[in-house]
A and B are shown apart, each in its own frame.
Chain A
């Protein structure tokens, strides 16, 4: 059974903005699923619909086989969502926050206490139980926020940009927690993120979204096939030559788009194994010195940029 099944989902807001346009996706149980997309691509609207907050205009949605329109109350018992903003109550202690959340799900006190002890251990929150929540760092607040989402041991946990605004250390700690959630609880994790590295490292499946549509879906390896063998990377010796080089290649038909990071220019081309010689010739003919010229394996970032049309010619 799919954890989440969405077919031809559309949503237009009253102000006329079309947020979802015949969006379809299915997510297997116990998978970590990442939804990638730019701001305004429809990610939050999709989470809001799947968590029963918003009503879709049309489409079919099933959460663990249950229709979301017909059984919203039953679905609320088996899902949980950690929103983008940390939603813990700063006037309550760590323990009180977790108890409050457990009561929302009707968990009796003894059971809740046992669950809280386990969560404190899994989320490495032992040293923070006595401290005031208001004094926690962003990373610790986020850990507590996710722990609250897990108190009901949901079948599906929705995480809306869980590592946004966190430092590298805290981000890695949240990654570990997400892996623990999957392993310890068997929970399906539905996550939105801007960080491509995060999606690639954590996810079993990834969906790339643009203008409310699913434009690519699969494992990270599947998605890389979109650009397989069609990337050429060149690292120039002198930064001053970047403009000159981009101007020269702008008239070359075989180059679909380019992306420049520091001195490195990545070109999405028609046939990388053939086109690399042409690029080499262009560099030599124009006396542009370079450190590296190679056919490159695409990263998820390359796939993402290629699909959402961010590359600049």
Chain B
């Protein structure tokens, strides 16, 4: 009930401001359209998983931004001193990010249909848990950042500093085999590499790699749960130790 209350408030704002959906999907969409057309040996099916992760970075990564507005107008404080559980507050925000991200991922999948990418319902069904867990992790992390970074501008600088390196230092644009040896360790450490690989396995019908799928799913669940707990703990003591 508490979570639903926070969630419905956020989602109402989201759908009254569809510009936020449009703005965050533009950059990944340009990547999808141009990169899959320009790189001769790379298909849209290959590039789509990396673009899905990029769209999750943009949508779920911005989850913490709402906190800066609510701190300015006082609603953050009003909710903070109410008896509502802090876990409900964070979860309400995370679920908003889930709806936002899934909307954007579905738009991407629809557009990629016109680029000859075919994803069956069963494949989509397999993709959902990984996408859900990844958004859960990114949005919890974003919420945590909004509690420790004092201003919105620094928050954006932080996001911009890390999103593209994480994107490039993965298998988003190149197959693992083509990545230079000196970068392979970094690419392997990057958890999003495994998310991209597992989504690619599903989309490209390489149904022989369930271990990669399960590994990425468990990794995202683990990171998501850890980040969610840290965010809730941080929110509990927020303001107390100023």
Chain A residues proximal to chain B, CB less than 8 Å: 13-14, 48, 51-55, 73, 76-77, 79, 81, 83-89, 91-92, 96, 100-101, 103-106, 148
Contact = CB atoms under 8 A, between A and B. Distances in A.
Nearest to B75: A87
Given A76-B82, A83-B74, A85-B72, A54 B13 contact: no
B26 to A, nearest CB: 23
Q: Top 9 closest A-B pairs, CB basis?
A: A87-B74, A103-B5, A83-B74, A104-B82, A85-B74, A55-B240, A76-B83, A87-B75, A91-B13
Given A53-B239, A89-B75, 20 more contacts: A14-B242, A48-B239, A53-B80, A54-B239, A73-B83, A81-B78, A83-B77, A86-B74, A87-B74, A87-B75, A87-B77, A87-B78, A89-B9, A89-B13, A91-B16, A92-B9, A92-B12, A96-B12, A104-B84, A106-B2
Given A51-B81, A91-B16, A106-B1, A100 B74 contact: no
A103 B2 contact: yes
B116 interface: no
A100 B242 contact: no
A77 B239 CA distance: 19
B79 interface: yes
A152 to B, nearest CB: 8
Contacts of A73: 83
Contact of A103 (B1, B72, B73, B77): B1
Interface of B: 1-2, 5, 9, 12-13, 16-17, 72-75, 77-84, 239-242
Nearest to A54: B239
A48 B76 CA distance: 13
A215 to B, nearest CB: 25
Main secondary structure of the interface of B (DSSP, over half): helix
B81 A86 contact: no
A71 B118 CA distance: 57
B153 to A, nearest CB: 20
26 contacts: A13-B242, A48-B239, A52-B81, A53-B77, A53-B80, A53-B81, A54-B239, A54-B240, A54-B242, A55-B240, A76-B81, A79-B81, A83-B74, A83-B77, A86-B73, A87-B73, A87-B75, A87-B78, A91-B13, A91-B16, A100-B5, A100-B9, A101-B78, A104-B79, A104-B83, A106-B2
Contacts of A105: 82-83
A104 B5 contact: yes
Contact of A104 (B2, B13, B17, B241): B2
Contact of A84 (B9, B16, B74): B74
Contacts of A52: 81
Contacts of A101: 78
B148 to A, nearest CB: 14
Nearest to B5: A103
Nearest to B76: A87
Nearest to B81: A51
Contacts of B5: 100, 103-104
Contacts of B1: 103, 106
A87 B74 CA distance: 5
Contacts of B12: 91-92, 96
